[in-house]
Structure 1
């Protein structure tokens, strides 16, 4: 259940349902505008910055620095398919990607163990916020949407 300020008061299911409802409303709005499935940055009123993808990007390998390049603020999610808290975080990260200036980059910790080790990831999920290619914040464990927005807002330009 959530209070009027949106703080979680115990029911993660209610929080996830609220996120799903917001995403569904956004999809319906895009469908009505005829922009569903386009890559056009519509400058939605939620404040998604120009150049920031509306969906999380999956890191497939190659240069991690290049994956960060071109995005001022990147929230990197180190996750695994078997991780329950990681799965709970997925819809929250989708909403954050769609409605903030941060780019969300998902890194499978099992596939990219060298990168996981390089950044000292010891527990999953671990979220690292990069600004200008440099890590500026680390969050370990499942986080609520308000916490992620607060961290992103603090480091946004």
Structure 2
């Protein structure tokens, strides 16, 4: 079991809105585990996922980043996002998981906790 580092304890409790590759890289570098939600304002399933990602930000040791695919098309393309919502999980600076579509809170929490414990 990994020991908890200072960045785990200091993970933001609110989603971080990311604008551009450099901003996302900074968030991923500063946090051990980052769940990144690629979303669009017009996307119904994205709106359904919104309270779940807010809850995960507040209740887990992972940081949650949100990327508006309409405003960040190059960033979405760089991660192969073809549909929204797409969740990309980073651990220790590396992309470790990608989930397309709405998932239940319990499933996402278990996924995040695999990397934060």
Q: Structure 1 length as normaliser, TM-score?
A: 0.67
Partner in structure 2 of residue 50 of structure 1: 9
Of 77, 80, 90 in structure 1, the residue corresponding to residue 50 of structure 2 is 90
CA RMSD of aligned residues (A): 1.1
Of 110, 117, 122 in structure 1, the residue corresponding to residue 82 of structure 2 is 122
Of 61, 66, 71 in structure 1, the residue corresponding to residue 20 of structure 2 is 61
- The one-character-per-residue Cα deviations of 1:42-97 (angstroms, maximum 9, x if unpaired) are xxxxxxx4111111010023603112111000000000000000001001111110
After superposition, where does 1:22-37 map in structure 2 within 5 Å?
A: none
* Higher relative contact order, chain-length normalized (CA < 8 Å, sep 6+): 2
CA distance in 2, matches of 1:62, 1:131: 17
Flag structure 2 segments of 5+ consecutive residues without an equivalent: 1-7
Partner in structure 2 of residue 155 of structure 1: 115
Flag structure 1 segments of 5+ consecutive residues without an equivalent: 1-48
Contact between 2:38 and 2:86, CA under 8 Å: does it hold in 1? yes
Partner in structure 1 of residue 37 of structure 2: 77
After superposition, where does 1:107-146 map in structure 2 within 5 Å?
A: 107-146=67-106
Q: Structure 2 length as normaliser, TM-score?
A: 0.88
- Bigger Rg, which one: 1
Partner in structure 1 of residue 3 of structure 2: none
CA distance in 1, matches of 2:9, 2:72: 29
> Secondary structure of 2:84's partner?
coil
> Secondary structure of 1:81's partner?
coil
CA distance in 1, matches of 2:65, 2:57: 9
Number of residue pairs aligned between Structure 1 and Structure 2: 109
CA distance in 2, matches of 1:117, 1:101: 27
